[in-house]
A and B are shown apart, each in its own frame.
Chain A
Amino acid sequence: MTTVTPRDEQDACAAVAEAASGRIPLAIAGGGTKVSIGRPAQTERTLSASGLSGVTLYEPAELVIGARAGTPLSEVERVLAGRGQQLTFEPLDYRPLLGSGGEPTIGGVAAANLSGPRRIQAGAARDSLIGVRFVNGRGELVKNGGRVMKNVTGLDLVKLMAGSWGTLGFLTEVTFKVLPKPERTRTLILRGLDEPGAAAAMAAALGSPYEVTAAAHLPAGLGGGAQTLIRLEGFAYSVDYRSGELRRLFRRYDLDLVDGEANLSLWRSVRDVAPFAADVSDEAVWRVSTAPTKGHVFTAQVARSVPCRWFYDWGGGLVWLACSPKEDAGAAVIRAALAETGGHATLIRAPAEVRAAVEVFQPLSEPLRRLTAGIKGSLDPVGIFSPGRMYAGI
């Protein structure tokens, strides 16, 4: 497969127009770290954003950063860290889970709508993304949103591009709002809770006034006893006060505090799904989003028919579930359980033949499928951008 690497937006428009006129389906890549997510798309050419690099705008006092789509995420994070700021949605790094190489790009962060443990408090990439520039399937440069964080001018195509996995357009530049890095971060670890008990404890913490920024539960058997993790962040004096209040709230529990590097690495492993990172080919991995108190109901239902392991983030609402990659990788059972609890599941890691055979993204109701196909057609009339990556025929 050939790779086309435009040097600027004009180049990108020309490359897309040329592919459109020849009806040549394109895979879109930044650093190529997430190419194995989605249905295997029948593409003939890769359009790479790696030639579009560099921070184009950074105004710390305005809490905004803009960068060309192919800019490495690590570069954006380094520039922000230099002024004590960060991307608040805590984007996960899929490389350990997928066993992929390469360098994640800021455009990929937007296109995959990445987030991490702070999702429950600070939103996902879509909530921080305030501006996009992209090439549509007509080879036209389209801009939407901008560089200010309050903007309701026209239809919000920024949200639409976030999480569209390269199926709607080729992002050339993205702009995010950012926030200060917390001065202190600390985690309370509650030990030995069963899953309903952990869900209730996380709900109590998240329903408290103490601004919990992450809550995860690692069941027993994932390399130790059960741990329920509750994170606080902010100014040192404030974290000290709030962790004191939470300790009081949870005084009947077996409880530890973790600070410093141990704490940061703990949340990195939750964020990057470290418990399932080894043995890439042995287990399929699903990412399931449901209501926080329904997470354990979902896993109990699935475990009745499919041997699997799991852990929870987002207060119990995000389930990372690993099971055998054979046959449908548990798809039928997982979808049936979700029909009861509500929510959606994405098959993040599985062999290509499984991803070709089962729905990778949550199947849509007929009217939503019709709207999705219509939107795809309005942006990409010939159907050249990663056709079929999200849904067959779209």
Chain B
Amino acid sequence: MSIAFPAPDPAILARRDEILAGLARLVHPEALIASEDERRAFETDGLTAYRKLPLAVVLPSSTAEVSAVMRYLGEQGVKVVPRGAGTSLAGGAIPQEDAVVVGVSKMARVLEVDFENRTARVEAGITNLAISAAVSHEGFFYAPDPSSQLACTIAGNIGMNSGGAHCLKYGVTTNNILGVTMVLLDGTVVEIGGQHLDSPGLDLLGLIVGSEGQLGIVTEATVRILRAAEGARPALLGFPSAEDAGACVAAIIGEGLVPVALEYMDKVAIEITEGFAQAGYPLDVEAMLIVEVEGSDAEIDEQLRRVVAIAERHKVSAVKVSKSEAESAAIWKGRKAAFGATGRISDYICMDGTIPTGQLPLVLRRIDEIVKREGLKVANVFHAGDGNLHPLILFDINKPGEMEKAERAGEEILKLCVEVGGCLTGEHGVGIEKRDLMRWQFDEADLAQQMRIRSVFDPAWLLNPAKVFPLDGRIAA
């Protein structure tokens, strides 16, 4: 347990009954969760090794309720931890004992779909996948597709600027949000953006997306919806070495092909997923790529023909080109099951650094060394087109000291990502997990500037306070 939490404020803990009574006056009784049993469900998120029981949980059902709750908590000086579905892998939604969790999960309606303008207006507690489900009957979809899209909310996606497997072509959350309704800590409701493009003044929307719940609580969003391509099919390519796979990725992009997805798995990841999903992955290769392209059948055939031709110049040793939906599903089955399959055989932590793709072979070699030094194993699964790595560090939580070893290796890997010109987090966010590593990537002036801007929205640092920035050296506006 190497990540520190600030000590809870005893004055707030002592006032718990009073604060609960104050909240009870503002929301429907069923929206306020006070009992210890029920609060347990909110004590952690996707970073389950860390747990803190919140003071209380409020699940409002309207922007007006969120506003009333925020104004009250702001006035009372009570910390607020915003929450969507609680799927953060970085601990972005983990509470603390003197904080009230304000969750948007009960606000999950589609408010308006406008196919002509290609936008949808939704309440922020809606799940990512439910947006696509609401527009798929007309052949449309919402593009960013984080692995947790069945469960995660658009509020959480906005908080973390979530990505997914298809962002090489469609961008990440920030490129697909047109407007938000946000509640500030003093209860003020602000409307930012709308159905139009670009900002009238400063790009506040761009600042809010990815701000990890530290600027306000987003209650509604206008998102871009896109007409889906006529079809999409992947090819699976196996290589004798990571270097060959990496060179193939560079060559595909260098020839002007921009596949909609370009996923990489190493031998360990292939073996783990094959043992679980039986997707028919080649077991005699060191590295594997899944390259997906879009268009009509003929366009797909032509693009995949070019991809395979490039792969053949890079010692490809296994090629499987999907010819049908069933074959595509089989190729994706293993990749999509990779994290789940790993969880069945081992405890693991999932890292999320990004590197310049040219550094891939070097970084994979160094990751291997780092993990071996700790006596652990690693499975590498990642988005190769954009260099967003997801090394899964395998460990046994029942063996004393192993989790600490895994965390230490993870930290080394993230420092390595920064050292080669990349960053600590590509799509999961900083949360508590990478908070104490921020000085590896940023100088004091860089961090101070971010903190000053954060303080404009929340001078007392009540919103998701123990996240993103190192606990020491905090700066007000």
Contact = CB atoms under 8 A, between A and B. Distances in A.
Nearest to A202: B116
A150 B163 contact: yes
A150 B357 CA distance: 11
A370 B103 CA distance: 27
Interface stretch (A28-36, A93-101, A117-125, A248-256): A117-125
A362 B446 CA distance: 30
Contacts of A281: none
Contacts of B267: none
B451 to A, nearest CB: 9
A353 B249 CA distance: 55
Contact of A368 (B204, B209, B210, B427): B204
A75 B443 CA distance: 31
Interface in A120-166: 120, 123-124, 126-127, 136, 140-144, 146-160, 162-164
B29 interface: no
B198 A153 contact: no
A211 B230 CA distance: 10
B115 A207 contact: yes
B190 interface: yes
Nearest to B255: A180
Nearest to A292: B117
Interface residues of B, number: 94
B442 A154 contact: yes
Contacts of B202: 160, 163-164, 168, 372, 375, 390
Nearest to A144: B446
A152 B427 contact: yes
A162 B203 CA distance: 7
B340 interface: no
B450 interface: yes
A140 B197 contact: no
A364 interface: yes
B198 A391 contact: no
B22 interface: no
Contacts of B203: 113, 126, 159-160, 162-164
B128 interface: no
Contacts of A150: 163, 167, 172, 354, 383, 386-388, 426-427
A155 to B, nearest CB: 4
Contacts of B455: 378
A346 B358 CA distance: 42
Interface stretch (B71-79, B296-304, B330-338): B296-304
A153 B467 CA distance: 12
Given A238-B302, A371-B457, 8 more contacts: A115-B198, A148-B426, A149-B386, A150-B386, A152-B428, A159-B205, A207-B115, A374-B456
Interface of A: 59-64, 84, 113, 115, 119-120, 123-124, 126-127, 136, 140-144, 146-160, 162-164, 168, 179-181, 183, 200, 203, 206-209, 211, 235, 237-238, 241, 245, 289-294, 314, 317-318, 342-344, 346, 361-362, 364-365, 367-368, 371-372, 374-375, 377-379, 390-391
30 contacts: A62-B358, A119-B198, A123-B171, A126-B206, A127-B174, A140-B448, A142-B449, A148-B422, A150-B388, A151-B425, A152-B427, A152-B430, A155-B211, A155-B453, A155-B454, A156-B161, A157-B453, A160-B206, A163-B202, A203-B116, A207-B140, A235-B303, A237-B302, A238-B302, A241-B296, A290-B195, A291-B114, A344-B196, A367-B184, A378-B455
